[in-house]
């Protein structure tokens, strides 16, 4: 249905604009947030690999025998707390990704012990699968990805819930969108990055996870692009990827690229014009706290280049209605 509305050639929005040139097409912002996340994840290789691994972990843990083990581990390590379940990922439901990442992050210790136990079991097929998973999970790259996405999705969950609420207050939603962008901008600072990295290092030490240094990786040598591709534009990976082991690696190859993409998309869909329209519609709603607010309606009117308005006339209309 989305492509029927948004198509720039024969989409509904294009046909409407043929009759009403000033009509403004605004995509469903609740759905756009989901698309922003998926797009930002797919554009960063290490992030994409993280979610693929998270889905594989869900499939592994959801089997009856393994599920019982991870539940018992949680009860033993965190007595008095309700055991958490891992969630299947979804490309269209934002809350599913938040729930999946948050559950994996909160039960990381129980998951590691569970996978390690299954890796040493007598069930050969499960043991081999668990050994491969443990190698991936017991890595600093997975840990830093889990912590990063848990922070980002926790930040944006409230906005997502507000946009999908049936009784949405458009004015508050636009304010929340701007506040979310402001908080993500704060996240995108070297100071916050260093704090996040230091926290990840402490968690890694707690679980005996090795943090590779540049010197250690240097002994392995950096893979070179095949000579046959020297004068070519390469759009796909060629079997190598950037490791995330230092704060600089995290900044260049993972953390900043994700936030850059995310902030750019939010700025695109919640730009000044769209916010003016959202607030303008809200100011035309009798139940809104900004009903007939002159400043909001003034900005709304300017979208259609209409300048015949006055504060006194607006006040008179409001007094008449109430």
Count the Cβ atoms, other than its own, within 10 Å of residue 76: 10
How many Å separate Cα 266 from the centre of its chain? 11
Place of tokens 């994996």: 104
Contact 300, 307 (CB under 8 A): no
Q: 50-63 pLDDT, tens per residue?
A: 999 999 999 999 99
pLDDT band at 320 (very low <50, low <70, confident <90, very high): very low
Query: pLDDT exceeding 90 applies to what percent of the chain?
Result: 35
Q: 243-275 pLDDT, tens per residue?
A: 566 888 888 888 999 899 888 877 776 766 666
Higher pLDDT residue, 189 or 293?
189
Q: How high is the pLDDT of residue 120?
A: 93
Task: Check pLDDT > 90 for residue 238.
Answer: no
Task: List C-alpha distances in Å: 81 to 36, 96, 185.
Answer: 34, 22, 34
Task: Check pLDDT > 90 for residue 151.
Answer: yes
Degrees, nearest 5: CA angle 174-179-185: 130
pLDDT band at 188 (very low <50, low <70, confident <90, very high): very high
Mean residue pLDDT across the chain: 78
Task: Check pLDDT > 70 for residue 12.
Answer: yes
Task: Check pLDDT > 50 for residue 221.
Answer: no
């Amino acid at each position: 249905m989305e492509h029927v509305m948004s198509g720039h050639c024969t989409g509904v929005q294009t046909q409407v604009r043929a009759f009403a040139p000033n009509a403004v097409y605004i995509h469903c912002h609740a759905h756009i947030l989901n698309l922003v996340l998926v797009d930002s994840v797919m554009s960063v290789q290490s992030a994409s690999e993280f979610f693929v691994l998270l889905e594989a972990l869900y499939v592994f843990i959801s089997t009856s025998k393994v599920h019982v083990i991870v539940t018992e581990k949680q009860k033993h390590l965190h007595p008095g707390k309700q055991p958490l379940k891992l969630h299947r990922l979804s490309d269209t439901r934002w809350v599913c990704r938040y729930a999946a990442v948050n559950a994996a992050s909160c039960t990381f210790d129980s998951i590691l012990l569970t996978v390690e136990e299954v890796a040493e079991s007598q069930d050969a097929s499960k043991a081999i699968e668990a050994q491969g998973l443990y190698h991936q999970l017991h890595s600093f790259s997975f840990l830093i990805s889990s912590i990063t996405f848990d922070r980002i999705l926790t930040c944006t969950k409230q906005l997502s819930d507000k946009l999908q609420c049936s009784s949405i207050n458009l004015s508050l939603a636009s304010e929340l969108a701007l506040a979310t962008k402001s908080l993500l901008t704060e996240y995108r600072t070297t100071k916050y990055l260093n704090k996040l990295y230091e926290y990840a290092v402490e968690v890694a030490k707690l679980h005996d996870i090795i943090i590779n240094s540049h010197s250690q990786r240097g002994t392995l040598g950096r893979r070179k692009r095949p000579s046959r591709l020297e004068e070519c534009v390469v759009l796909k990976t060629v079997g190598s990827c950037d490791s995330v082991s230092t704060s600089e690696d995290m900044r260049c190859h993972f953390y900043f690229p994700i936030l850059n993409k995310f902030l750019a998309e939010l700025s695109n869909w919640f730009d000044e014009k769209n916010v003016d329209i959202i607030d303008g519609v809200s100011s035309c709603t009798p139940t809104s706290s900004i009903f007939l607010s002159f400043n909001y309606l003034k900005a709304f009117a300017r979208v259609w280049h209409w300048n015949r308005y006055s504060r006194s006339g607006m006040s008179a209309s409001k007094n008449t209605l109430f």
